[in-house]
Amino acid sequence: MANKRSLILGCSGQDGALLSLSLLKQNYDVIGTSRKLKTNKLQKITNHSILGIDKDIRLVNCDITNSDEISNLIEKYKPNEIYNLAAQSSVGKSYEYPQETIKSIVDVTINLLEVCREINYNGNLFFAGSSEVFGNTKRKANINKKQRPVSPYGIAKQTSFNLVKLYRNLHNLKCVTGVLFNHESPLRSEKFVTQKIITEALLCRKNKSHKLRIGNINIARDWGWAEEFVEGFQVMNRTKNLKDQIICTGKSTKLKTFIKIVFKKLNLNWRNHIFVDSEFFRKDEIKQSYGDPKQMKNDLDWKAKVELETIIERLIEFKLNSQK
């Protein structure tokens, strides 16, 4: 019997690479899109090389903001399931590049949904949503919490969420959104604060006068382990009773605590190395964001297991090994 086939839009990023690895382990045939192919002569994606799977997946060049190209891709490969992970994924950058952010999220979502409606696509579609749709969460956010996004990125993810819901209800497409809270791995790009903290803390260990310049350390987030989150994407996408779900750990941790743990693990006193810089403060910054994992556990028996201390240990270890 032929292998099942998955198509991943935005497969070069952290989640795309980890999802590719997970699917390959289950013997899936993996097709992935990346804009990088246009410029990369070797046709190699760094995250896939790190995971040792660059030769095992089929990378295709596709402008996913163009519906004809998406249509051709689906008609050609006939995937059993599709994961749309593509996005300009930095909240900070979405203030600088709002048009690119909206295009990369909203245009791709509507194109994919419309193409699937037109061709009567019968497979399953997973869309990567974001906790940023909620804005501040005083209590754990569940899927019904009122959405109050405060960034162009959050607004784009809210529109994508609403479109997916509409196409599921109106056109019976088998599509769902996973509303994702922060999740980390060594593949997370350096533009994100967690990677910056670890890189800078290692510099502080080498140079005792080095300082980590950072913005508001009193914000709190819900940080999970990306490798297990991509398992959650698949569980959501393959269930019969399709529902939007929150994927999170349910724990709220201040950035200050994250920093303390990193420095402690490196035998450093964080207070000696921190410079809180108002330049990095963001107007409308979300003070606290954490989710309610209950529905995902009750409906699909999926739960995040890796604790933040372990996540931090793994991130430090990877960085130390890559510096050897």
Q: What's the CA gap between 288 and 35, in Å, rounded? A: 33
> Is residue 36 classed exposed, middle or buried when 0-12, 13-18 and 19+ CB atoms within 10 A define those classes?
middle
Shortest distance in whole angstroms from residue 17 CB to ligand NDP: 8
Q: In the stretch 97-126, what mask flags binding to ligand NDP with x, by CB under 6 A?
A: ---x---x----------------------
Residue 153 corresponds to which amino acid?
A: Y
Phi-psi region of 139 (alpha: psi -120 to 50; beta: other; left: phi over 0): beta
182 lies in the site for ligand NDP, by CB under 6 A: yes
Residues in the chain: 324
Q: What is the CA radius of gyration of the chain?
A: 20
Residue 71 as a binder of ligand NDP (CB under 6 A): the answer is no
The burial of 280, by beta-carbon neighbours within 10 Å (0-12 exposed, 13-18 middle, 19 or more buried), is given as middle
- Binding of residue 85 to ligand NDP (CB under 6 A): yes
End-to-end CA distance of the chain: 45
Taking CB under 6 A as the binding criterion, the range among 33-41, 118-126, 231-239, 255-263 that sits at the site for ligand NDP is: 33-41
Is residue 135 near ligand NDP by the rule CB under 6 A?
no
Which two structure tokens, joined as six digits, stand for 225? 């382990």
Specify the residue, 89 or 249, whose C-beta has the smaller distance to ligand NDP: 89
**Contact yes or no for 231/22 (Cβ under 8 A):** yes
Which stretch, 28-36, 73-81, 117-125, 204-212, contacts ligand NDP (CB under 6 A)?
28-36
- C-beta of residue 160 within 8 angstroms of C-beta of residue 111: no
How many residues touch ligand NDP (CB under 6 A)? 24
Question: Which of the ranges 30-38, 68-76, 162-170, 284-292 carries the binding residues for ligand NDP, by CB under 6 A?
Answer: 30-38
Options 124, 130, 177, 245; binder of ligand NDP; rule CB under 6 A: 130
* Residue closest to 286 by CA, chosen among 94, 132, 182, 180: 132
Does the CA dihedral 247-251-252-255 come out positive or negative?
negative
Report which of 297, 131, 318, 288 is spatially closest to residue 218, judged by C-alpha positions: 288
Which of 4, 35, 171, 319: binder of ligand NDP (CB under 6 A)? 35
CB of 80 to ligand NDP, least distance (A): 21
Question: Does 291 interact with ligand NDP (rule: CB under 6 A)?
Answer: no
Nearer to ligand NDP, 121 or 134 (CB): 134
The yes or no reply on residue 96 touching ligand NDP (CB under 6 A) is no
Q: 31 forms bridges with which residues in the sheet?
A: 7, 58
Query: With binding defined as CB under 6 A, does residue 158 bind ligand NDP?
Result: no
- Segment lying near ligand NDP (by CB under 6 A), choices 13-21, 133-141, 237-245, 296-304: 13-21
Q: Say how many C-beta atoms besides its own lie within 10 A of residue 87's C-beta.
A: 24
Contact region with ligand NDP (CB under 6 A), list: 32-40, 137-145, 165-173, 230-238 = 32-40
Measure the CA–CA gap between 247 and 178, rounded to whole angstroms: 6
Our finding on whether 30 is near ligand NDP (CB under 6 A) is no
Q: Does 93 bind ligand NDP (CB under 6 A)?
A: no
Question: Which residues bind to ligand NDP, rule: CB under 6 A?
Answer: 10-16, 34-36, 64, 85-89, 100, 104, 128, 130, 180, 182-183, 189
